[in-house]
Amino acid sequence: MTQFRNSFSVMLVAGLLASCATTSAPTTVAQNDTRSTNATVQKASVSDISLADIRALSKGIFDQIFLDNTILSRNYEAALEDPFRIAITSVQSDLRTDRILRSDFIRALEGELIKTGIVEIHSTDSADWEYSIDTQLRSTVTGERGVARTAIYEMVVTMASIENENVGVWSETVQFTGRY
């Protein structure tokens, strides 16, 4: 009986070691923020852009448009008194994921616009908006399975006046790189 227990124990340990040997290590993916100091953030997958990433891209663009830009008709102090009236007229995404719905994307955009403190969101049915925003989210993934892969996500925002005059085009890019 003792010999049977010892044999069983040896087989159990050997089985555990074999299963551990075939378990692959988790993939580490680096995110390079092209807007700042190239800080690196670890992600789970090259293909996993999150709503937080979309919010960060949106924030970067809206900061450029409303806080760092002199193209618009009034400065920050005047905009606090008379906020920019914005209508989101188009939102397009070529993401191949069902994790991020169009409605989530729109809510993220609206949330970042409101966080500027100088923007009011209007519907396109309203006659009271002064600028429209069209947003596109594009992705490009390069590389093959088993080698380094890179995913580049670019958000492009086009802004026009109510008179349909182009005010400007802004974009932000985030890149994820990893081995598979």
pLDDT at res. 145: 62
Burial class (CB in 10 A: 0-12, 13-18, 19+), 10: exposed
Distance CA 45, CA 27 (A): 7
Counted domains in the chain: 1
> Strand, coil or helix: what is 155?
strand
More confident site: 178 or 60: 60
Residue 100, domain extent: 27-179
Query: How would residue 61 be classed by pLDDT, with cut points 50, 70 and 90?
Result: very high
More confident site: 50 or 5: 50
The position carrying tokens 């009986």 is 1
Q: Which residues of 154-174 are buried (b: 16+ CB within 10 A; e: fewer)?
A: bbbbbbeeeeeeebeebebbb
Closest CA to 89 of 137, 159, 153: 159
pLDDT tens column, 109-165? 999 999 999 999 999 888 899 999 999 998 887 776 667 778 888 999 999 998 989
Q: Does a structural domain hold residue 140?
A: yes
Q: Does a structural domain hold residue 17?
A: no
Note if the pTM is more than 0.85: no
Q: Does a structural domain hold residue 4?
A: no
CATH of the domain at 95: 3.40.50
pLDDT tens column, 36-49? 444 444 444 555 68
pLDDT at res. 144: 65
Q: Does a structural domain hold residue 102?
A: yes
Distance CA 165, CA 17 (A): 67
Q: Does a structural domain hold residue 86?
A: yes
Q: For helices 102-115 and 51-62, give the axis angle rounded to 10 degrees.
A: 40
Q: Does a structural domain hold residue 68?
A: yes
* Residues 159/72, Cβ–Cβ less than 8 Å: no
Q: Does a structural domain hold residue 9?
A: no
Q: Does a structural domain hold residue 173?
A: yes
